[in-house]
Amino acid sequence: MNIGRLLKKIRTEKGFSLSTVAEAVNLTPSSLSQIENCKISPSISSLSDILNFYRIPMSEFFKQIEHKDLLIVKFADIESLKTNNMGVSINLLASNLENNVLESYSVIFSPGSSLEIKKLPDELNGERFLYILNGSVEININEKIFLLKEKDSLNYKSYYKCLINNTGSTEAEVFINGLPPVL
């Protein structure tokens, strides 16, 4: 992400008009617009004034600049989460995207293992998606039990508690995707 685009994003998220910010930092609306549209670069002084107006430390701003809008994770670079659940391996598929709210996991279940996906408050109105990559699992959601096999999927609201059990005799792998994050 570049400086201008991030400044524009911050301004619009905070609900300020171009002219309000420009006046507060002694710029013309045209100059601020050119900065936000990457036509000109701000001076260090102007950038400092804009960030002070937004109450954002310069160091925090540049940390955001370093974040990515696109993330590719090669198989060899997949991060695994440690879990207390014996027989469950959780692999993060792409979780380092800037301000991401969507989390994706590959979860491998040994026979007899289980994992509970946290229930979130009703007002969040998030969703969860499960896709069975291989094997079969038993899903207990909203006090209903479903047996899902390879290539089956389930989409549900995140305000339901969900328990995934591998009741079979072979390993199962499930792709889990959710908004907000699921684990």
Q: What is the pLDDT of residues 26-37, one digit of tens each?
A: 999 999 999 998
pLDDT of 173 reads 97
- d(C-alpha 127, C-alpha 115), whole Å: 17
Domain ranges of the chain: 3-66, 75-179
51 vs 103, higher pLDDT: 51
pLDDT of 118 reads 83
Q: Which two tokens stand for residue 156?
A: 């549900």
Q: Which two tokens stand for residue 38?
A: 């990457």
Beta strands in the chain (DSSP E): 79-81, 88-92, 103-109, 114-117, 127-134, 136-141, 144-149, 153-157, 162-165, 172-179
Residue 132 — very low, low, confident or very high, per pLDDT cuts 50/70/90? very high
CATH number for the domain whose boundaries are 75-179 = 2.60.120.10
pTM: 0.61
Please indicate whether the domains covering 3-66 and 75-179 agree at the CATH topology level: no
pLDDT beyond 70 at 183: no
CATH number for the domain whose boundaries are 3-66 = 1.10.260.40
pLDDT beyond 80 at 83: no
What percent of the chain is predicted at pLDDT more than 70?
Answer: 86
